[in-house]
Amino acid sequence: MKIIVYLGHPAHFHLYKNVIQNLKNDGHTVEVLIKKKENLEQLLQNSGIPYHNILREGRKDTKVGMAFGAIKRIWRELVFCIKEKPDLLTGTSVENSYVGPLLRIPVVYCGEDDADVIPLQAKICYPGASVVLTPDSCDDGQWNGKTTKYPSYHELAYLHPNHFKASKQIVKEQGINPDKPYAIMRFVKLKANHDDNIKGINKEVALRLIELMKPHLEIYITSERPLEPELEPYRIRINPIYMHDVMAFASLYIGDSQTMAAEAGVLGVPFVRFNDFVGRIGYLRELEDDYHLGIGIHASPLNEEENKNNKNTAYADINIDKKNTHSTPAMSDGPRGLERNHPQALTSELAAPVDANTPNLLPDEQHVECLQKCDVPSFENDKNNSTATCGNIPLSGTEALYEAVEKLMALTEEERKRIYGERVKKMLEEKIDYAKFLTWFIENYPASAETTRKADKAFWKQFK
């Protein structure tokens, strides 16, 4: 088969890089099309994957600029496909959904956001796609009948232990000491068509977070948006293809990016996600509420009714004794918590006995119960309404963000390694290698769509 993979974002490079190699190894011809977006070209160049950039000039971050850019990309992909005559198009972009029907080429669209989070994208992409693949935690709304579900995440196409093994040596070569605790912060533009009126981490919030963490952690910032002069000294300067190695040895991730929060989660790195998408995206709610791998805090303060509709239970999962809530953080205490190639490597360590004198951690036999019943102090709305509450669980506002960060920093590295190692191990036991599944799905399409829709639990074992 001749397959065109369209990449519109650096995250899509990671999503497809193993799939592209698998398809080539199986004898298929793969052409990669891209548009200008952040460091996407650099990632492809560093990986040695050939590509065609169909929008080198980029586009403006206005609605008119986005629309005009999309029209140009559709036309240029159409011309490319007429020349190359592919058998199948795949990606996560609007272009395929127009070019495919025009030329009668099947389109496999890979999404991961709930339809009501990306309403415009769903309306213009889903109708033209032959099949829409989304995680089983995703709510596709009116498109549920068209989508095909699978038990995984995009991030497990490249961070599953079948594909990724973090290297401490690589981190050192990037100028970062992996044996010294550090935090990764990520800021995005929030300028996409689905980002209207969405708030995230601004300069003031970032500076306050740095003030909280700096005595205990090195801080590295990766940013899609321009950084203010006060934040520029913290900018991380590494080869972007090694970002996941750096992330894997971090003690903490904080940001307003969805993708990097999920990446931290599947690597077993505690994450705090702060934006107005919290409570609305199925796969992140699953990571936060079901697997307790991170905390989502709504950036804009919510009232009581909004809290009920936006329930997030992950915050109650941090097991910190009330007396120690505001104690000096213990980030640098104990051995490095994430000194490992991958969370699965922790299996033999998870059964290690816990010191009975450890104040903030329950004994092993009570650990599972503590994940559901741990004691968390109540927080009251302050006079500026910067913190909203739902029972004992703060769900929104900057004060909730700062409280969450303080609580995570109160865990020692050893405690965090054990707690988050157990959680990520459970998640991996229930999820599949998405790259392995997507390769099979593309190679066997259209029969694969029908097979997947009828799949039972036994079917998914082949993609572990």
> pLDDT tens, position by position, for the chain (464 residues)?
999 999 998 999 999 999 999 999 999 999 999 998 888 999 999 999 999 999 888 777 777 888 888 899 999 999 999 999 999 999 998 999 999 999 999 999 999 999 988 898 899 999 999 999 999 999 998 998 889 999 999 999 999 999 999 999 999 999 999 999 999 999 988 544 444 456 889 999 999 999 999 999 999 999 988 999 999 999 999 999 999 999 999 999 999 999 999 999 999 999 999 999 898 899 999 999 999 999 999 998 876 555 555 545 444 444 433 333 333 345 443 323 333 333 333 332 233 333 333 333 333 333 333 333 333 322 333 333 333 333 334 468 999 999 999 999 999 989 988 999 999 999 999 999 999 999 999 999 999 999 999 999 999 999 99
The per-residue pLDDT for 337 is 33
- Find, among 102, 40, 95, the residue nearest to 73 by Cα: 95
The per-residue pLDDT for 341 is 36
CA–CA separation, 239 and 227 (whole Å): 19
The per-residue pLDDT for 320 is 37
The per-residue pLDDT for 199 is 83
For residues 5, 8, 9, 12, the Cα torsion angle rounded to the nearest 10 degrees is -20
- CA angle at 435 for the pair 432 and 441, rounded to the nearest 5°: 95
The per-residue pLDDT for 310 is 55
Which residues, 6+ apart, have CB-to-CB distance to 179 below 8 Å?
336, 339
CA–CA separation, 133 and 156 (whole Å): 14
CA–CA separation, 452 and 445 (whole Å): 11
- Which domains, ranges and CATH numbers included, belong to the chain? 2-159+433-463 (3.40.50.2000), 171-430 (no CATH)
- Find, among 9, 19, 177, the residue nearest to 94 by Cα: 9
Describe the strand order of the beta sheet including 29-34 as a list of residue ranges. 52-53, 29-34, 2-7, 88-91, 107-110, 131-135, 147-150
The per-residue pLDDT for 36 is 85
